[in-house]
Chain A
Amino acid sequence: MTIDAPTSPNSPQDDRYEVFVRTFAHFEGDLRRFVRSLLPNWTDVDDVMQQTAVVLWRKFDQYDPETHFMKWACVVARFEALAYRRKMARDRLVFREDVLELMADEGIEEMDQRDAEHAALATCLQAVPETQRHFLTLAHTRGVNVKELAEEAGSTAAAFYMRLTRLRQQLMKCVESKLGQGHHHA
Chain B
Amino acid sequence: MSPAERNQLIDDLIDQDISEADFLRLEADLSVDPIARAAYYERLQLSLALAEVAAVRPEREAPLPASSRRALVWLAMAALWLAFIGVTSVWFWPRQRAGLAGVESTANGHAALVTQIDAVWSGMAAPLIDGALLPPGMIHLESGLAQIELFSGVRLVVEGEAKFEILSSMEMRLARGRLRAHVPEAAHGFRIHTSEGEIVDLGTEFAVDAAGERAELHVLDGEVEWHPKAAGMLRLVGGEALGLAPGNDPTQMPADDSRFVGLSEINERQKATQETRRKAWLQFSEGLRRDPRLIAAYRMDVPNPGERLVPNLAASGMVKPGAGAIVAAKRVEGRWGQTEGALDFSPAGSRVRVNIPGRHSSLTLLCWVKINSLDRLYNSLFLTDGHEVGAPHWQIMNDGRLFFSVKRSDGHGTTAGGQDKYNFYSPPFWTPLLSGRWILLGAVYDVEAKTVTHFLNGSPLASEAIPEEFLVENVTIGNASIANWSEPAYRRDAEFAVRNLNGSMDEFLLYSAALSAAEIAEIFNQSRP
Contacts and interface: CB of A to CB of B under 8 A. Distances in A.
Interface of A: 1-3, 21-22, 24-26, 28-29, 33, 36-37, 40-43, 46-47, 50, 53-54, 57, 93, 95-96, 98-99, 102-103, 106-107, 114, 117-118, 121-122, 125-126, 130-142, 144, 146, 149, 152-155, 163, 168, 171-172, 175
Given A41-B16, A103-B30, A125 B41 contact: no
Contacts of B65: 47, 50
A126 B380 CA distance: 23
Contact of A122 (B49, B74, B99): B49
B126 interface: no
Contacts of B77: 21, 24-25, 53
Contact of A132 (B55, B73, B95, B106): B106
B50 A137 contact: yes
A96 B28 CA distance: 9
Interface stretch (B79-87, B323-331, B501-509): B79-87
Given A50-B70, A137-B98, A40 B16 contact: yes
Interface residues of B, number: 61
Interface string B83-103: 110011000110110111011
Interface in B218-240: none
A183 B26 CA distance: 31
Nearest to B48: A33
B34 interface: yes
B100 A152 contact: yes
A135 B102 CA distance: 8
Contacts of A57: 73
Contacts of B23: 93
B468 interface: no
Given A121-B49, A168-B43, A131 B84 contact: no
Contact of A36 (B30, B48, B81, B495): B48
Interface string B414-439: 00000000000000000010010000
Contact of B30 (A99, A144, A154): A99
A34 B107 CA distance: 35
Contacts of B62: 43, 46-47, 50
A38 to B, nearest CB: 10
A99 B27 contact: yes
Contacts of B495: 2
A33 B54 CA distance: 16
Given A125-B50, A137-B50, A168-B46, A93 B81 contact: no
Q: Closest 8 A-B residue pairs measured CB to CB?
A: A46-B62, A140-B50, A134-B98, A137-B54, A141-B54, A138-B98, A131-B106, A130-B432
